[in-house]
A and B are shown apart, each in its own frame.
Chain A
Amino acid sequence: MPGAPCCTTASNQPCQADPRSRLVQCFAAAFPNLEAEAIPRAAAATLPEWDSLASMTLLGLIEEEFQLRVPAADIPRLTSFSVILNYIDNIVVRGDNYVASPIKG
């Protein structure tokens, strides 16, 4: 994975940063040429760099950062920063670990 993006997940300490800023870091690592202010508007439909390889990198970073495994059924929907942030916001925080819950809609 290019560039350790966000909070360390190797320690047992819960991450203090909010999910949004951590997701921004994931996007910044997956799309190094993307301006920081453009990240919240990033969408696969409009970002030429968001190809299959970038998706692979991004998914790997998100799963590592948030200590979750995205189920196959949820992957097709993850096509923009805002959708992914909403997805992560729908994940329930329990103790030190995030437990995935189904995406709505």
Chain B
Amino acid sequence: MSPARSRDDSLAQEGATGWGGGPAAATAGSSYRVEIVEPAAFAEPASRILQDAFQPPCLRYTPDYLRWLFRFPNGLESIGVAAFDGAEPVGFFAVMPRWMRSGDRRLAVSLMSSLAVRPGRGGPLALALYSRLLELLRELGRPVVSYVRPGTVAERLLLWNFARAGLQARPLGSYRTYGALNAAGPADPPARVEEGDEDAFLEVVRSCRDERMLWRDPDRDQLRHYGADPRGCVLAVIRDASGGLIGAATVVLARVVLPQGDELIPMINSVHLPRPTAEALQALIQFARRRWDGQATAPVVTAPNLIGIDPAVLRAAGLRATPSAFQGYVFDPIADSLPAALMGTNLEVV
């Protein structure tokens, strides 16, 4: 018997914090088992669970991509919990550590992503995974950042479970995905992009000190890890007409699952633009398109996280809002450890 569609199925099978948990399909009276797992070693079953749970459009979570995500060389370990029905893996929640900067302060945060249960697996499964994972996160004491589709079951479960664990949520901005079809720009652009300059990239990162933002703060090893992204990823630094550094970002060839099949789409992530301009964004879009020319299967360049940039600047750069959006939250186990003015982060939406 195929399980009936539930609120879980209809509302939450999408996004960074996705969902597939409908009514349980386990044998009556049976129960689940929740275990701590090493996320990279669990990449194969995690990939199957994530792809079964997420509805298009969503990223393609291949085992290679997950292993890469969970093995960032930052001296901190990813954490995962998995649920089993007998020997069958039926749910997987994970967090990945990331180094961030707020003003002059460098801090480790946990990025909560890759949350999914198999479709048709409801009941207490999600609560069990959340409870176990949040026990571990409370022990760590780091702030937790999560992106979730607003208005979904996933968002309600996220907020309820964190509140139950005594971790209060702070909204961390709304993240609209933007897309650019045409960014022809002038023949002699006032800004240009160079690829792969680690020193320049780190210089831009260090110049981002606005305390209203939680800035991604990678070191050199982590920058090199970006280059090992199995999807294809390059470092991009943006210079103005006089050669001065004005920005940086990573540019990925993302594999996106769409109803008609997978598309390879250039995606701009982790944008560091201390003083955003349309010219800088145009240069970035043009670079992304050129860099993956011949490999990309869609004519669009996407950017899931351009928070804090004036919509007029985005329009002038040729970027248009898509229907896809996430709500960011930060949960801080230590009261008031983050600036009160914090309103967003440039951490990639994964």
Contact = CB atoms under 8 A, between A and B. Distances in A.
Interface of A: 43-56, 59-60, 71-73, 75-80, 82-83
B335 to A, nearest CB: 21
6 contacts: A51-B23, A52-B117, A53-B153, A72-B132, A76-B31, A76-B32
B83 to A, nearest CB: 7
A53 B7 CA distance: 8
A21 to B, nearest CB: 22
Contact of B26 (A45, A49, A59): A45
B3 A43 contact: no
A81 B160 CA distance: 22
B123 A59 contact: no
A51 B119 CA distance: 11
Q: Which 8 A-B pairs have the closest CB atoms?
A: A44-B123, A72-B131, A44-B24, A51-B122, A76-B32, A77-B31, A76-B128, A51-B6
Range for the number of chain B residues in contact with chain A = 35 or more
Interface string B24-49: 11111111111000000000000000
Interface string B98-141: 00000000000000000001000011111110011011000000
Interface of B: 3-4, 6-8, 19, 21-34, 83, 117, 122-128, 131-132, 134-135, 153, 156-157, 160-161, 164
Given A45-B28, A52-B153, A56-B157, A76 B23 contact: no
Best-buried of A43, A45, A76 by chain B (most CB within 10 Å): A76
B186 to A, nearest CB: 52
Contacts of A76: 31-34, 83, 124-125, 128
Nearest to B29: A80
Given A44-B122, A48-B4, A72-B132, A56 B127 contact: yes
Contacts of A75: 124, 127-128, 131
